[in-house]
């Protein structure tokens, strides 16, 4: 049997080209016709849709209250899609009272049941659309259908279900997600999962604790990050168990969560974490110390200003600049530390915050500092360099790791 290449060759280039020309010309004609027809169709469709949206908007209150019987629009897919879209958009911006009214409308009109059915029985894109729409309704009865979506083999469907549950933003949805994670492990990318959990666990972050204790390492990290975002004062003592955790991410999460707990021991814990060997744990601790706005944090922040990591130094500097009443003493200490990287970071933060002028004024007005010292500080502020008479040595720099800078 002749191969395809032999057949092609026997056909001869000329005959082949002729056929190819005809095919290409037909394809051109079809493409043009498709563009033309599609444009015409869409123009008519959107004109019709606009007119119908306008009509339905005019009678929206009557529609929602049920004065206009649901059957008048429910049986027409075109109208149903418009009504659902308007209702879900309104839902996103509605207050509690309006939300309750809209939810009642979605329930009594049967739209939620329809979406639940679609989320369970449709396939592919239509199922994904139904899952997300179901989540947007925030109706708890949709949670089981969304939980089924989480167990689908297709990743896109799982993601759509996760987004839907995220929109529910309630502890029941969080429980479903966490149960599924316990069952199947991490089978979706981190960020959509974190996003959904952040929304769902905001009300009850304690839900996360047992799962963090028992999860495998990477999932533990992901859940730890969520905990860092959603921590509340009620979580204070529970967070302490993560301060000494083996996982860097968990320690970082604990540092991130600490200011939200408003606990009295937060400065001490954060100071401890600010000396962690891992840079991003130190970074989180320094950022959190800055958020506390507590003078007890100043010595740790000054230490952070001389950290071997550039980001830690910057965040420490930004935090220090926020202590507006302590500007002169802090600046004195920054200069006394004789770390030019720390000094530059501090001056940069000062410049960025537009506080340089204020520090100059305060230096001028300060009566506690002797004139000599004041002059020296003014020089440092003006030139951005440390005084030359006492050259800094690498040995004198705390955490010195010049090569890392």
Q: How many Å apart are CA 247 and CA 139, to the nearest integer? A: 37
Distance, CA of 334 to CA of 49 (rounded, Å):
66
In terms of CB distance, is 60 or 341 closer to another protein? 341
In angstroms, what is the minimal distance from the CB of 166 to another protein? Answer: 8
* Closer to another protein by Cβ: residue 237 or 384: 384
Question: With respect to another protein, which residue has the nearer C-beta, 189 or 237?
Answer: 189
In the three-class reduction of DSSP (H, G, I as helix; E, B as strand; rest coil), residue 277 is classed as: coil
Least distance to another protein, CB of residue 105, Å: 21
CB of 405 vs another protein, minimal distance in Å: 7
- Residue with Cβ nearer another protein (203 or 272): 203
Chain positions contacting another protein, by CB under 8 A: 13-14, 17-18, 20-21, 24-25, 27-28, 31-32, 34-35, 38-39, 92, 125, 128-129, 131-132, 156, 159-160, 163, 166-167, 189-192, 194-195, 198, 225, 229, 310-311, 313-314, 341, 344-345, 347-348, 351-352, 354, 384, 405
Length of the chain: 405
Q: What angle do CA 271, 273, 279 make, to 5 degrees?
A: 120
Which residue lies nearer to another protein by CB, 240 or 381? 381
Nearest distance from C-beta of residue 334 to another protein, angstroms? 14
CB of 92 or CB of 183, closer to another protein:
92
CB of 61 to another protein, least distance (A): 26
CB burial of 110-142 (b: ≥16 within 10 Å; e: otherwise) equals ebbebbbebbbeeeeeebbebbbbbbbbbbeeb
Q: Which residues have CB under 8 Å from 251's CB, separation 6+?
A: 242, 243, 244, 245, 273, 276, 278, 281
Quote the least distance from Cβ 5 to another protein, whole Å: 11
Shortest Å distance, C-beta 13 to another protein: 6
Q: How far apart are the first and last CA of the chain?
A: 71
Nearest to another protein of 249, 271 (CB atom): 249
Q: Is the dihedral of CA 99, 105, 106, 108 positive or negative?
A: positive
Distance CA(281)–CA(150), nearest Å, equals: 32
Q: Show contacts of 99-103: CB within 8 Å, 24+ apart.
A: 99/138, 101/64, 102/64, 103/137, 103/138, 103/139
């Amino acid at each position: 049997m002749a191969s395809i290449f032999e057949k092609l060759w026997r056909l001869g280039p000329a005959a082949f080209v002729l056929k190819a020309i005809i095919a290409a010309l037909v394809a051109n004609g079809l493409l043009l016709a498709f563009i033309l027809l599609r444009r015409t169709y869409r123009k008519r469709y959107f004109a019709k849709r606009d007119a119908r949206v306008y009509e339905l908007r005019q009678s929206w209150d009557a529609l929602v209250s049920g004065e206009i019987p649901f059957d008048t629009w429910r049986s027409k897919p075109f109208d149903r899609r418009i009504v659902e879209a308007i209702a879900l958009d309104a839902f996103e911006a509605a207050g509690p009272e309006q939300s309750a009214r809209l939810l009642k409308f979605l329930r009594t009109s049967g739209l939620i049941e329809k979406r639940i059915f679609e989320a369970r029985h449709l396939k592919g894109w239509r199922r994904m659309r139904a899952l997300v729409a179901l989540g947007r309704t925030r109706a708890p009865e949709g949670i089981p259908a969304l939980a089924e979506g989480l167990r689908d083999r297709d990743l896109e469907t799982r993601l759509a279900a996760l987004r839907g549950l995220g929109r529910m933003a309630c502890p029941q949805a969080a429980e479903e997600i966490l149960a599924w994670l316990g069952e199947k492990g991490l089978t979706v990318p981190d960020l959509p999962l974190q996003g959904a959990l952040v929304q769902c666990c905001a009300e009850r972050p304690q839900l996360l604790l047992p799962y963090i204790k028992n999860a495998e390492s990477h999932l533990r990290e992901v859940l730890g990050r969520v905990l860092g975002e959603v921590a509340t004062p009620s979580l204070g003592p529970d967070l302490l168990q993560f301060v000494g955790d083996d996982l860097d991410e968990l320690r970082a999460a604990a540092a991130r969560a600490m200011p939200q707990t408003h606990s009295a021991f937060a400065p001490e814990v954060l100071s401890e974490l600010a000396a962690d060997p891992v840079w991003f744990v130190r970074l989180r601790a320094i950022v959190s110390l800055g958020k506390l706005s507590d003078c007890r944090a100043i010595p740790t922040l000054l230490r952070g200003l001389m950290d071997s990591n550039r980001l830690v130094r910057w965040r420490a500097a930004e935090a220090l600049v926020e202590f507006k009443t302590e500007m002169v003493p802090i600046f004195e200490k920054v200069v006394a530390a004789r770390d030019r990287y720390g000094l530059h970071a501090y001056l940069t933060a000062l410049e960025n915050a537009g506080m340089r002028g204020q520090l100059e004024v305060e230096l001028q007005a300060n009566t506690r500092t002797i004139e000599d010292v004041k002059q020296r500080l003014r020089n440092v502020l003006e030139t951005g360099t440390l005084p030359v008479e006492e050259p800094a040595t690498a040995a004198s720099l705390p955490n010195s790791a010049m090569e890392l800078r």
